[in-house]
A and B are shown apart, each in its own frame.
Chain A
Amino acid sequence: MAATAIGPRTAVAVRAGRMAGALSRKVGLGAGAIIAGRVALRLDGQALSRLAAGRRVVLVSGTNGKTTTSHMTAAALRTAAPVAHNDTGANMPDGALAALMEQPDAPLAVIEVDELHLGAVADAVHPAAVVLLNLSRDQLDRGTEVHAVARSLAAALRRHPDTLVVANADDPVVVGAVQPSHRVVWVAAGMSWLADAGGCPRCGRRLETGVGPWRCTNCGMTRPTPTWGLDEGAVRHPGGRTEVRLTLPGRFNLGNAAFAMAAADALGVPPDAAATAIAGLGSIAGRYGVHRRGPHELRLMLAKNPAGWAETLPLLADARAVLLVVNAREADGRDTSWLWDVPFEQLPDGAAVAVAGERAADVGLRLSYADVSHATEPDPLAALALLPPGQVQVVANYTAFLSIRRRLATEEAA
């Protein structure tokens, strides 16, 4: 895209933003995406809509799986054309802008968006499609209660009646946020955490969420009929069934693949091509990355909230050693109450367990009440030394995950 097409003010803003981003990378502050976008937005409030003009944009939002699903969607769409993507997980408007600045000529864009910013970003970029993964409790202390988030998403979608919505039919809170007037591709991606969906999104009464599709016994609201779904290592879709040989573990990631394939399909990439591209993805922004360190082989996993932990614990079923790392900084949520919503009782008998992070004691106390014996050591690498040699499954929440990755990268570079 030439500078003249976006106007001189935006061109200047983009140049200034890029310089700030490059400077941030150079002095080691980070990937630079947030500062680059922030500087450009400050200089030109319209920069996001100007840089999005003429592109087909897919927005990916929801509580869990945003980063993975947006990587999958971008990989699938790249089989058709160049794609701009906020691949570092910077999911506020500044991160979206930085991604568009990085790839000014890409005709397609995949933008991961924080749930509470979906409205602002959608208003600027007029998305071709919005992917809504799931909505559950996350950082109640700084965010908003889950039904309030659903209301803000609903308001955002109402302003974009022509946008295609790709949404999780298994999550009643998501379904409640989608308007009947929208064109919707329903994906039955599963939802193992329904504690926040206790009430019917329409009438507030109790939902039946046992075996089979959920339904409200009071007003009759029920799961919409999905056209996409999961089927033992494959994704079902209107055109048939496509096997997906994922490198990433778990049913949750197969669900993410189904969303990505449905979104790609809507933009003209057939499921077979999408599945091949998605299968090639290994570690995504460090998630599921494997690191060797002394006698240990670490696999890093990120879990930020009860739903994320509920999806992650089954991956530990065969683990021999587990390290759980939890912080409670601003970006994690200061409140550690959520630890009591996680079924740590599921940790495998006989696995050696260590807990670490700034809230190691809170995790340790929770494990004691779950009858899981463990060692407590706030420093994650010191805690690692308490575990037997061999494979260690590391599950960490947001800032704890970033901090471990950074320390491992520093060691590996040395």
Chain B
Amino acid sequence: MSESAIRIAALLPDVLGTYSDRGNVTVLSQRARWRGLQVEETVVLAGSTPPVDCDLYLLGGGEDAAQQYAAEWFRDHRQLGATLAERATTLAICAGLQVLGEWMQDSSGTRTAGAGILPLTTTAGTKRAVGEVVSECGMPGVGLLTGFENHMGRTTLAAGVAPLGRTLSGVGNGGADGGGDGVLTSTVVGTYMHGPVLARNPALADALLQTVTGEPLPPLDLPDQEAVRRIRLGDGAAARPRRGRLGAARRS
């Protein structure tokens, strides 16, 4: 870990902020600070020029018109796109996930070009996906993910691209390529989970921070965290990665 502060940028919270995803910034910053790390938060509003030297970028969900604006904004700031694709770590939620893809098509068939950072495409479904989602995260040690989805989008990943998790309940991507939620690349974590996702899944928050610190973070014990997960995941699944439980079952 370098001596300098972790730089976290919230991208376009004034445009893509419908579902309280800004809470993810609060969670990342606090979890870093509570470990004695310095944090510098930057809010990048529409109309401004984004910094390209931050460590973590966050992009939230929003309505259709806002999403089109965001897509255009990314096309206007190609350097930022290169940063997200190659160097920094990005968390992209719902509309934010779609915007980073190749293109999005709305229910009238109109196609909008995305930022082209993620190898995925999104079309409009016929029925809104609303409700709790649970997935088994593909990142090592993260375990079960819980979130709340609310979207019309059906996202299809390009061949060979991994989702963030295998969907155990809920819709997730709902695309032609099977039961996954979100996307996981070398630099981007994308998901349809609101909640906010990092408040519900502290292991995912720490995994993102660790891409910056480069070393494991000491555990944190927040009093209500386990109950928040238990309500959605049931007993036993609260904090433990699913792999451990499956392993134990096989031995017996």
Interface residues of A (CB under 8 A from B): 137, 140-142, 145, 147-148, 195-196, 198-199, 204-206, 217, 306, 334-341, 359-362, 364-366, 368-371, 376
Contacts and interface: CB of A to CB of B under 8 A. Distances in A.
Interface string B64-97: 0110110000000000000000000000000000
B212 to A, nearest CB: 19
A372 B74 CA distance: 37
A386 B18 CA distance: 35
A365 B148 contact: no
B63 A147 contact: yes
Contact of B228 (A198, A340, A365, A370): A365
B36 to A, nearest CB: 16
Nearest to B225: A365
A337 B148 contact: yes
7 tightest Cβ-Cβ pairs between the two chains A and B:
A340-B23, A361-B227, A364-B224, A337-B20, A340-B20, A361-B224, A198-B14
A362 B228 contact: yes
B46 A340 contact: no
B69 A204 contact: yes
Interface string B98-142: 000000000000000000000000000000001110000000000
Nearest to B68: A204
B192 interface: no
Contacts of A369: 23, 26-27, 30, 199
Given A340-B22, A370-B26, A376-B224, 9 more contacts: A198-B15, A205-B69, A337-B23, A337-B194, A341-B20, A360-B224, A365-B224, A369-B199, A376-B227
A341 B22 contact: yes
A183 B4 CA distance: 59
Nearest to B23: A340
A217 B225 CA distance: 43
A335 B65 contact: no
Interface string B9-23: 000001101111111
A377 to B, nearest CB: 11
Contacts of A364: 223-224, 227
B199 A206 contact: no
28 contacts: A141-B131, A147-B65, A196-B18, A198-B14, A198-B66, A199-B65, A199-B66, A204-B66, A204-B69, A206-B15, A206-B46, A206-B47, A334-B131, A337-B23, A337-B148, A337-B194, A337-B196, A339-B20, A339-B23, A341-B20, A341-B22, A361-B227, A364-B224, A364-B227, A365-B228, A369-B30, A376-B223, A376-B224
A331 to B, nearest CB: 16
Nearest to B222: A368
B176 interface: no
B218 to A, nearest CB: 17
* Interface bin, chain B: 35 or more
Contacts of B23: 337, 339-341, 366, 369
B72 to A, nearest CB: 11
Contacts of B18: 137, 140, 145, 196
B249 interface: no
Interface of B: 14-15, 17-23, 26-27, 30, 45-47, 63, 65-66, 68-69, 130-132, 148, 150, 194-196, 199, 222-225, 227-228, 231
Contacts of A359: 231
A148 B225 CA distance: 34
Contacts of A206: 14-15, 45-47
Nearest to B231: A361
A91 to B, nearest CB: 23
Contacts of A141: 130-131, 148, 150
Nearest to B47: A206
Nearest to A140: B150
A336 B148 CA distance: 9
A204 B65 contact: yes
Given A337-B148, A340-B199, A364-B224, A140 B19 contact: yes
Contacts of A199: 15, 65-66, 69
Contacts of A142: 130
A306 B27 CA distance: 19
Most chain B C-beta atoms within 10 Å of own C-beta, residue among A196, A337, A338, A370: A337
A365 B196 CA distance: 12
B148 A195 contact: no
Contact of A368 (B22, B131, B148, B224): B224
Nearest to A376: B224
Nearest to B33: A371
Contacts of A366: 23, 199
Contacts of B21: 337
Contacts of B225: 365
Nearest to A370: B26
Given A141-B130, A198-B14, A204-B69, A337 B19 contact: yes
Contact of A361 (B26, B46, B66, B228): B228
A335 B148 contact: yes
Contacts of B195: 336-337
A336 to B, nearest CB: 8
Contacts of B45: 206
- The interface centre, meaning the residue of A142, A148, A204, A369 with most chain B CB atoms within 10 A of its CB, is A369
Nearest to A209: B14
A144 to B, nearest CB: 10
A366 B196 CA distance: 10
